[in-house]
Amino acid sequence: MSSVVIRIARTMAVLGGLVLTFLVLLTCVSVAGRGMGTFAHWNLLENLAPGLATAIAGTGVGPIQGDFELVEAGIAFSVFAFLPLCQLYSGHAAVDVFTSRLPRRANLVLAVLWEVILSGLILLVTWRLLFGLVDKFANGETTFILQFPVWWAYAASFAAACSAAAVAVFCAWSRVVEAATGRKLMPERGEAGA
């Protein structure tokens, strides 16, 4: 396997993990803020300890404005960022109830077929993301609360999708070469490398 492809897949997975970790923390802080804001305006608290309720409410505690807009954009990027590593190590969900009984050669042909089809689908999604990016850039659409340009999220997702497409094409090519030559170039399903 090409070390460049492995490096791309792992780098994108790390970036996706960092973004996902940030989104989890953002969501936790936002939910905690929302809970504290609700607690500060709770009728029982306002009746029993009006000073405490006023003090909590006076801190401005509440949800993070636009958190769902950031989560939406970040999750889209993360999905595409994790795709190259998943593709490289055949980590996609598979049901092999029937194929497990087939001969090795038949399974190899099926692996090539599905790898090529999946690569084509990833290329199609990447191509359509480009059209979405160009459209969002051209019309200047922004998010409702934070008012950041929507094309930013499309650009991040498109960049991640490009790396997924590159890895997918490499995987499809490798599976075809494996089928033609019998040489093992790709790890078996679920066989993550060190």
The two structure tokens encoding residue 35: 């809970």
pLDDT for the residue 60? 79
pLDDT in tens, 128-179: 999 999 999 999 999 999 999 999 999 999 999 999 999 999 999 999 998 8
pLDDT digits (tens, 9 = 90+) for 70-129: 999 999 999 999 999 999 888 777 777 777 788 888 888 888 999 999 999 999 999 999
pLDDT value, residue 1: 60
Burial class (CB in 10 A: 0-12, 13-18, 19+), 171: buried
DSSP summary character for residue 140: T
How many Å apart are CA 57 and CA 112, to the nearest integer? 60
Q: How far, in Å, CA of 129 to CA of 115, rounded? A: 21
User: Residue 188's pLDDT is what?
Assistant: 64
Task: Assign 15 a pLDDT band (cuts: 50, 70, 90).
Answer: very high
Q: What residue segments make up the domains of the chain, in order of their start? A: 3-181
Question: Quick one: pLDDT at residue 173?
Answer: 94
pLDDT at 52: 85
Report how far Cα 191 is from the mean position of its chain's Cα atoms. 21
- On the question of pLDDT at 62 being above 70, the answer is yes
8 A C-beta contact, residue 123 and residue 169: yes
In one-letter notation, the amino acid at residue 117 is I
User: Cα(156)–Cα(73) distance, rounded to whole angstroms?
Assistant: 9
Lookup: tokens for 44: 């029982």
pLDDT at 194 (0 to 100): 44
